[in-house]
């Protein structure tokens, strides 16, 4: 079976966690994936014809504009579109639903929770193609740390600019309290952190995320004010932190929908501080939560799970079966590897020595 996919990036965004999650998972399942920021329909048609592409991932606005619909339909190519709400200047173009309705095999997906679709996605209703909820997920391909030995008490990886209100409410008071109590912490993100007076460690490359999450006792996970108040969506860190062996405290109650008892939620400043300090001091609780969340995510909330739902919606049972099998095999392997690393950390044995 020919398995060649084209992933059309958003303009100016050569990298995103969503893109990498889907691309890594497709490649692990045997797909050849081309990634490009296309500018014209002609360029897209040439790629389709020269590489015999049979699956396209694209997005609202310019990603839809570059689709040569006649070529796509003549070749029975499946198209997966990450859509935006119809909310003015920064949202989807008003004719996007009509354009996609001309494609034979297409599915639209959104990270927005179904409860808010009536407020944000009205323009996508009553279309001739499936609209599915596909939340962000954990990228199991990049989630294995070298070891899980604790190196610092608290680590935050987040830009301050887009979460200023909630960071001032929860995180800045937390870190000031950690300073008073002489707990260690690190902050990675944008340079706006330099203006807070806290210990700022600069940006963090994505290839170091797994190790940073795994070697901190607590990883605060802060959703934006809108995400919390309107329950619009959850972020990718919800799945990535525990998948890498980290323990998180999150400010969005929506997190329990995905992790149930394996998550600690705190939306008030005092609660966030208390839960963080208790988690630092209670290693047994941390380990129990990490193991439960890690295994649940590995089997239910990776990009293999998201691709399985997408392929089922497209009616591609052979693709769905293949992606499900690959995802299951990798989940089993990941859980075994993580249990071994967590066990070594619990016994105080460096992973390098325990694995000899």
Beta strands in the chain (DSSP E): 4-8, 32-36, 55-59, 78-82, 105-110, 131-133, 152-157, 185-188, 216-221, 248-250, 264-265
- Interval 91-119 mean pLDDT: 95
Q: Are residues 271 and 145 in the same domain?
A: yes
Q: What confidence tier does 162 reach under pLDDT thresholds 50, 70, 90?
A: confident
User: What's the whole-number mean pLDDT along residues 102-124?
Assistant: 95
Which CATH number is 59's domain given? 3.40.50.11930
Q: Is the pLDDT of residue 13 over 60?
A: yes
DSSP 9: P
Q: For residue 39, what pLDDT band results from cuts at 50, 70 and 90?
A: confident
What's the CA gap between 233 and 221, in Å, rounded?
Answer: 14
My answer on whether 116 and 250 are in the same domain is: no
> Is pLDDT above 60 for 354?
no
> In this structure, are 166 and 100 located in the same domain?
no
Q: Which domain holds residue 312?
A: 303-354
Number of domains forming the structure of the chain: 3
- The answer, yes or no, to whether residue 38 has pLDDT greater than 50, is yes
Pair (25, 51) in one structural domain: yes
Q: Please indicate, yes or no, whether residues 287 and 148 belong to a single structural domain of this protein.
A: yes
Q: Which residues contact 250 (CB under 8 A, 6 or more apart)?
A: 220, 221, 222, 223, 238, 263, 264, 265, 266
For residues 277 and 158, state if they share a domain: yes
Whether 289 and 264 share a structural domain: yes
CA atoms within 13 A on the CB side of 207: 0
Instruction: Please check the confidence at residue 355 and state whether its pLDDT lies above 60.
Output: no
Q: Report the percentage of the chain scoring pLDDT > 70.
A: 97
Distance CA 190, CA 204 (A): 9
Q: What is the pLDDT of residues 188-210, one digit of tens each?
A: 999 999 999 999 999 999 899 99
pLDDT at 14: 58
Which pLDDT score, from 0 to 100, does residue 63 have?
92
Which percentage of the chain shows pLDDT scores above 90?
Answer: 85
CATH number of the domain residue 185 falls in: 3.40.50.2000
How far out from the chain centre does Cα 145 lie? 17
What is residue 1's predicted lDDT score, i.e. its pLDDT?
58
Q: Are residues 156 and 27 in the same domain?
A: no
Q: Give the residue with greater pLDDT, 2 vs 207.
A: 207
The pairing of strands 185-188 and 152-157 is parallel
Decide which of 243 and 163 is more confident: 243
Q: Would you give the distance in Å from CA 152 to the centre of its chain?
A: 24
Residues 235 and 221 sit within 8 Å (Cβ to Cβ): yes
Q: Residue 356 pLDDT > 50, yes or no?
A: no
Identify the domain boundary among 297, 312, 341: 297
Q: What are phi and psi of 82, to 5 degrees?
A: -85, 110
Q: At which of 258, 282, 297 does a domain end?
A: 297
Q: Could you say which of 252, 274, 297 is where a domain stops?
A: 297
Residue 123 and residue 80 share a domain: yes
127 with 170, same domain: the answer is no
Q: How confident is the model at residue 352 (pLDDT cuts 50, 70, 90)?
A: low
Whether 71 and 87 share a structural domain = yes
**Strands annotated E in 103-173:** 105-110, 131-133, 152-157
Same domain, 109 and 65: yes
Phi-psi region of 315 (alpha: psi -120 to 50; beta: other; left: phi over 0): left
């Amino acid at each position: 079976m020919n398995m060649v996919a084209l992933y059309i990036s958003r303009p100016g965004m050569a990298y995103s966690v969503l893109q990498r999650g889907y691309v890594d998972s497709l490649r692990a399942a045997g797909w050849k994936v081309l990634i490009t920021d296309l500018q014209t329909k002609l360029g897209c048609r040439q790629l389709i014809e020269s590489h015999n592409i049979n699956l396209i991932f694209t997005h609202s606005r310019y990603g839809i504009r570059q689709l040569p619909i006649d070529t796509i339909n003549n070749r029975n190519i499946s198209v997966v579109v990450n859509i935006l709400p119809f909310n003015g200047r920064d949202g989807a173009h008003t004719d996007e639903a009509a354009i996609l309705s001309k494609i034979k095999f297409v599915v639209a997906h959104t990270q927005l929770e179904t409860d808010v679709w009536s407020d944000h996605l009205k323009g996508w209703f009553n279309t001739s193609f499936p609209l599915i909820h596909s939340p962000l997920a954990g990228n199991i391909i990049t989630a294995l740390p070298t070891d899980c030995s604790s190196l610092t008490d608290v680590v935050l990886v987040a830009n301050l600019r887009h979460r200023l209100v909630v960071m001032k409410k929860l995180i800045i008071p937390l870190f000031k309290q950690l300073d008073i109590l002489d707990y260690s912490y690190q902050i990675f993100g944008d340079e706006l952190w330099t203006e807070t007076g806290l210990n700022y460690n600069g940006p963090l490359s994505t290839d170091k995320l797994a190790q940073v999450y795994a070697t901190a006792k607590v990883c605060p996970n802060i959703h934006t004010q809108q995400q919390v108040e309107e329950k619009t969506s959850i972020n990718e860190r919800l799945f990535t932190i525990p998948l890498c062996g980290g323990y998180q405290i999150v400010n969005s109650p929506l997190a329990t929908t995905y992790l149930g008892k394996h998550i600690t939620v705190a939306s008030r400043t005092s609660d966030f501080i208390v839960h963080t300090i208790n988690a630092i001091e209670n290693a047994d609780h941390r380990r129990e939560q990490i193991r439960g969340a890690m295994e649940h995510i590995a089997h239910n909330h990776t990009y293999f799970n998201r691709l399985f739902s997408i392929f089922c919606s497209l009616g591609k049972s052979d693709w769905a079966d293949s992606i499900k099998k690959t995802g299951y095999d990798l989940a089993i392997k990941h859980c075994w590897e993580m249990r071994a690393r967590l066990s070594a950390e619990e016994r105080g044995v460096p992973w390098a020595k325990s694995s000899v």
